[in-house]
């Protein structure tokens, strides 16, 4: 089960590909797509679209799990994150992959055990769960891996919901 997690953003969009085997998970790839703040926003969104499409073509994830954008305190950046998440969702759906969305609280709960966990705590749990020698950098890549791990953690629940229908 190959899952690509995405932590959407316009300046920095984290991605992480994880292979799940039963209760174990291994990291396949992780990184950050960056776009230049000095470029026009449509150009930056197009670059994001192209790079995500390339990554999905290379890795062929069965599921793309995307962190849900909530209306945040920072209204100035929320629109860019919303636009980036829209682009990510369209590309993922167009690839034929299943697309799943998880809230920040669901992700923290799944990875660190409680919804109020900080970024550092999530990063340490990602390191532990994937048995990495050191914390994954940059933090956007670790966050994206956390989204993918959250999807893997929800799989047993999703399967039983499907079975119960």
User: Is 140 one of the catalytic residues?
Assistant: yes
For the CB of residue 163, give the shortest distance to a second copy in the complex, in Å: 20
The neighbour count for residue 9, using CB atoms within 10 Å, is 23
Assign 7 to helix, strand or coil: strand
- Report the residue number, 80 or 123, with the smaller CB distance to a second copy: 80
- Report the residue number, 84 or 136, with the smaller CB distance to a second copy: 84
Beta strands in the chain (DSSP E): 2-7, 12-21, 24-34, 63-67, 98-102
Binding site for a second copy (CB under 8 A): 40-43, 45-46, 48-50, 66, 69, 71, 75, 78-79, 82-87, 89-94, 99, 101
Q: Is 103 exposed, middle or buried (0-12, 13-18, 19+ CB in 10 A)?
A: middle
Out of 47, 98, 101, 140, the active site residue is 140
- Report the residue number, 36 or 93, with the smaller CB distance to a second copy: 93
Residues that are catalytic? 7, 67, 140
């Amino acid at each position: 089960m190959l899952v690509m997690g995405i932590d959407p953003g316009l300046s920095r969009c984290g991605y992480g590909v994880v292979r799940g085997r039963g209760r174990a998970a291994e990291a396949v790839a992780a990184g950050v797509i960056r776009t230049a703040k000095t470029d026009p926003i449509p150009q930056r969104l197009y670059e994001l679209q192209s790079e995500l499409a390339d990554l999905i073509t290379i890795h062929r994830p069965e599921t793309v799990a995307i962190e849900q954008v909530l209306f945040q305190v920072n209204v100035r950046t929320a629109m860019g994150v919303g636009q980036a998440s829209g682009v990510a969702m369209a590309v993922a759906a167009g690839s034929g992959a299943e697309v799943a969305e998880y809230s920040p609280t669901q992700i923290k709960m799944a990875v660190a055990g409680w919804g109020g966990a900080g970024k550092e705590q999530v990063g340490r749990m990602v390191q532990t769960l994937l048995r990495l020698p050191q914390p994954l950098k940059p933090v956007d890549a670790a966050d994206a891996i956390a989204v993918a791990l959250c999807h893997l953690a929800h799989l047993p629940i999703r399967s039983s919901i499907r079975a119960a229908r």
